[in-house]
């Protein structure tokens, strides 16, 4: 029997469809590592070394990048979600999963609609305090009880936050941020670091 080759699309589809909710909230670690490798290879092969979105339009992708940066921003210790490749990770998985497309594409549409209704402009064009205000509303499920019209936005942001965390904490930057040292033996367990004051 001849071996059938498996395409990149087949692998991504399998990974994206097989996810159920997984720190990983959305996909298994092996699948996440594979997605990061695919993004890295694409960026390395591109003339400008940049990623071309597979599912999101240019404006949606710009919004996705901004949201990922707001969820896990860069700090003095290490890079944030954008530097870790979370937007590319999310776009690549979304390009192969109809449910992700509906949740994330619909959520970005909802977000721009909400901002247009309340501020007269789409999310990316809003002032920083307006962006913070809308994200503060959709970051907490309790707000849906007070205003049921926020339900879709809250569901979208929760899913996006989980995917951003998965993309970040499965990347080299995220793993380094966790201080993960792998399967190594220690003579003495140092314990948890003390909390900053």
Task: Look at residue 194 and tell me if it is in a domain.
Answer: no
Please provide the average confidence, as pLDDT, over all residues in the chain: 83
The pTM (predicted TM-score) of the whole model is 0.79
> Does the pLDDT value for residue 68 go beyond 90?
yes
Average pLDDT score over residue span 25-46: 80
What distance in Å separates the CA atoms of residue 46 and residue 49, rounded to the nearest whole number?
A: 5
* Residue 191: per-residue pLDDT: 74
Kindly report the CA angle at 94 between 90 and 152, in degrees rounded to 5?
90
Asked which of 77-91, 141-155, 165-179 is least confident by mean pLDDT, the reply is 165-179
76: confidence class by pLDDT, cuts 50, 70, 90: confident
Render pLDDT for 130-151 as a digit per residue (tens, 0 to 9).
999 999 999 998 988 888 989 9
> Does the pLDDT value for residue 58 go beyond 80?
yes
Asked which of 30-39, 57-66, 72-81 is least confident by mean pLDDT, the reply is 30-39
Asked which of 7-11, 74-78, 122-126, 158-162 is least confident by mean pLDDT, the reply is 7-11
Report the candidate in 187, 196, 34, 58 with the shortest Cα–Cα distance to residue 124. Answer: 58
> Does the pLDDT value for residue 17 go beyond 50?
no
Task: Give the contacts of 95 (CB within 8 A, at least 6 positions apart).
Answer: 12, 54, 55, 101
What distance in Å separates the CA atoms of residue 112 and residue 60, rounded to the nearest whole number?
A: 10
Task: Look at residue 184 and tell me if it is in a domain.
Answer: no
What distance in Å separates the CA atoms of residue 36 and residue 91, rounded to the nearest whole number?
A: 11
Task: Look at residue 117 and tell me if it is in a domain.
Answer: yes
Task: Look at residue 14 and tell me if it is in a domain.
Answer: yes
Task: Look at residue 33 and tell me if it is in a domain.
Answer: yes
Task: Look at residue 144 and tell me if it is in a domain.
Answer: yes
What is the domain extent for residue 79?
Answer: 8-178
Q: Which two tokens stand for residue 122?
A: 């789409």
* Residue 11: per-residue pLDDT: 53
Task: Give the contacts of 160 (CB within 8 A, at least 6 positions apart).
Answer: 64, 67, 71, 90, 104, 107
Candidate ranges 31-35, 125-129, 137-141, 178-182; pick with highest mean pLDDT = 125-129
What distance in Å separates the CA atoms of residue 140 and residue 151, rounded to the nearest whole number?
A: 10
| Residue labelled with tokens 């996440």 | 32
- pLDDT above 70: percentage of residues in the chain: 82
Task: Look at residue 111 and tell me if it is in a domain.
Answer: yes
* Residue 71: per-residue pLDDT: 93
Average pLDDT score over residue span 53-68: 96
DSSP character string of 27-75: S-HHHHHHHHHHHHHHHHHSTTS----SSS-HHHHHHHHHHHHHHS---
> Does the pLDDT value for residue 18 go beyond 60?
no
Q: CA–CA distance from 1 to each of 4, 10 (Å)?
A: 9, 20
Domain count, the chain: 1
């Amino acid at each position: 029997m001849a071996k059938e080759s498996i395409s990149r699309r087949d692998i991504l589809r399998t990974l994206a469809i097989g996810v159920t909710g997984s720190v990983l909230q959305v996909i298994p670690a092996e699948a996440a590592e594979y997605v990061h490798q695919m993004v890295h290879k694409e960026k390395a092969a591109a003339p400008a070394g940049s990623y071309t979105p597979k599912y999101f339009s240019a404006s949606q992708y710009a919004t996705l990048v901004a949201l990922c940066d707001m969820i896990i921003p860069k700090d003095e210790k290490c890079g944030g979600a954008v530097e870790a490749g979370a937007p590319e990770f999310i776009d690549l998985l979304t390009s192969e999963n109809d449910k992700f497309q509906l949740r994330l594409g619909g959520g970005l549409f909802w977000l721009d609609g909400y901002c247009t209704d309340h501020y007269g402009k789409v999310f990316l064009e809003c002032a920083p305090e307006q962006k913070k205000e809308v994200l503060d509303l959709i970051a907490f499920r309790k707000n849906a009880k007070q205003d049921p019209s926020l339900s879709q936005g809250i569901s979208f942001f929760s899913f996006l936050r989980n995917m951003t965390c998965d993309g970040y904490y499965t990347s080299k930057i995220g793993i380094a941020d966790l201080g993960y040292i792998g399967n190594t033996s220690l003579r003495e367990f140092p314990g948890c670091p003390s909390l900053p004051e």
